[in-house]
Structure 1
């Protein structure tokens, strides 16, 4: 009876409005709306990593009867950002925003839209500082007036950078903003650690992306890199002690040690200079009793004996002439002198002979990269009268063990623009000398440190550079390459 009534009603309607009107009413106008069920009207964010991100769209057409067509058509205003398949699957491609429209096939005037943002997330992150920033084995040189920012490199390259944090061990020297900008306040060193929380980072943890030692320039006559002249102690903070190690042996000052130090990448090399019994300058720590297994153990030999005998039967001794010959082949090196100032050796006299030898050999230009280790202020004028040296380094180990003498030496180093001083590593509490260096705007080297863990410990305390027997720039690079 019900079915018969419906058919009758339809026939009456058809007679009144015509066949076209009936079709329009039943199949077109009966489609009332389109709804997207699984995306908010104000927008949807599709997050993708390295793989394609896909989200099925749950949508439906609202109708007044069961005859109306419920088929839907899906479109994206920018398929480059995200496209929609015929089956209604949203596929994100590149970061950006698009509008997804879902239209009723039976009535194209009925549709709905939702904005869709595709966000590219990183699965890996790397960090670096600008390549143009001066750097040595450990430190990046920064200035208070320069704007320097960390460079973040996500994978994929177009990924969103987020969840990166920075920590400075000495924020009073420099800290890093949330955006990765370095804000330097005063001269000194600090360790900046960069962390990241990625999609695969265990909950509650963060990944260490890298550690960066910053050396904020201590000079007060400029505040930007453009006005900065790189100093010898900024080119390197590792100094090969006594020409470096020769295999397992140290303190030898031999040709073997020097060649090994050059091959290990040292830029600054300390050499001990002494006089033979016939007044020639050679590379030797002192003439006291040693364990080099030579006939003149505990005595001062003449030059011929010194050159003839080998340490431990294998190591070749080195004269000042031999040193200058090797140096001329590597003019990029710096050498620091160490003269023990004993009854046989006087610093000004040794320097006078060394300068005369360099001139005789036609290597006077090398003296501009010689760093004279000074033991007292009185010798400065004496040596400067022999040759106007460009580089000096006050060493404290021959000073009276008094606070007054040490403070006077640091003040003198500041007044003379030496830029640095050096002390034995365990002479006094480290903090005392670190503060003395900071007060006088100087870098501080200590001698002698060989273990990387010890170097790191002293760097954290504010020590800048190190004389070393066995550690080397090449060894450091090998650790970096191995991920250690």
Structure 2
């Protein structure tokens, strides 16, 4: 017998069995709720640009919007003069990574900057840093985008100041903008802090600073009807993801830049992904073929 037909037959049988088990695993269904959940991809820190991450820049937004991304996470901090800006941190090494060290005095590279200093220090000399008002401009100009907040100051007083600015500044323009702002909270107590300021349509519980057990996360998600739970690759387990899916709460995983990783987590039942470089189309294609390396 010619071994080639047998080889192909066995290969076909193996792939068929693998597909059966892959597709029989718990898959996250598309949530029925409107809003950002219509999308699988969240651009981390406004998305990457030219291999650079964490810029939170205008150019990064444009590059990723043009790829089809519609949900953008923004890192938010308060400047020295109490203005809300999009920046991940103030560390000196971070300033050097963004190529901004020449824009400020050496003794100020690791300190909190004023709003003017922040805006004048272009990233790598060419990318435009975004203040919160700039992000509101983008939301008005692009009515199909959603902004997920990642507040880097989470002490109660600072967190409340940040959200007070978010709510008040949006209401001055158009209160409907807040329908497309998606707060991330970092512990269960923050739910009340956010609700006192505004009843947002969708809230995400992100677990990277949480000490809650899986059982506490599930109960909280069910009680508050959370829009999603976001977790790191190491925190994501099939047990937790399946339990969240069973109560209709989708899971998102951060930060994923490899199609194979997306394929693995989709098999687990994860619904969406925070990413620097991947698009909605990349996430859609990352099925069992990507997992196998085809």
TM, length-normalised to structure 1: 0.50
SS, match of residue 169 in structure 1: helix
Supply the RMSD in Å over aligned alpha carbons: 2.8
For the structure 1 residues 293 and 399, does the alpha-carbon distance in structure 2 shift closer, same or farther, using more than 3 Å as the test?
A: same
SS, match of residue 216 in structure 1: coil
SS, match of residue 257 in structure 1: helix
SS, match of residue 49 in structure 2: coil
* Alignment match, 1:185: none
Structure label with greater radius of gyration? 1
For the structure 1 residues 478 and 444, does the alpha-carbon distance in structure 2 shift closer, same or farther, using more than 3 Å as the test?
A: closer
Q: How does 1:361-380 map to 2 (within 5 A)?
A: 362-380=173-191
Residue 252 of structure 1 pairs with residue 252 of structure 2: no
Residue segments in structure 1 that go unaligned for 5+ positions in a row: 1-164, 174-187, 190-214, 219-227
Q: How does 1:84-483 map to 2 (within 5 A)?
A: 167=20, 169-171=22-24, 188-189=26-27, 215-216=28-29, 228-233=32-37, 235-289=38-92, 290=94, 291-294=97-100, 295=104, 296-341=108-153, 346-360=158-172, 362-400=173-211, 403=213, 406-427=214-235, 430-438=237-245, 440-473=247-280
For the structure 1 residues 473 and 345, does the alpha-carbon distance in structure 2 shift closer, same or farther, using more than 3 Å as the test?
A: farther
* Alignment match, 2:290: none
Distance 2:109 2:155 in 1: 17
For the structure 1 residues 229 and 241, does the alpha-carbon distance in structure 2 shift closer, same or farther, using more than 3 Å as the test?
A: closer
- Deviation of the 1:431 alpha carbon: 2.6
For the structure 1 residues 303 and 388, does the alpha-carbon distance in structure 2 shift closer, same or farther, using more than 3 Å as the test?
A: same
- Deviation of the 1:461 alpha carbon: 2.1
TM, length-normalised to structure 2: 0.80
Number of equivalenced pairs = 263
Residue segments in structure 2 that go unaligned for 5+ positions in a row: 1-16, 288-293
SS, match of residue 164 in structure 2: helix
Is the Cα contact below 8 Å between 2:41 and 2:283 reproduced in 1? no
Is the Cα contact below 8 Å between 1:274 and 1:345 reproduced in 2? no
* Alignment match, 1:8: none
SS, match of residue 421 in structure 1: strand
Is the Cα contact below 8 Å between 1:339 and 1:345 reproduced in 2? no
For the structure 1 residues 283 and 344, does the alpha-carbon distance in structure 2 shift closer, same or farther, using more than 3 Å as the test?
A: farther
* Higher RCO (C-alpha 8 Å, min separation 6): 2
* Alignment match, 2:8: none
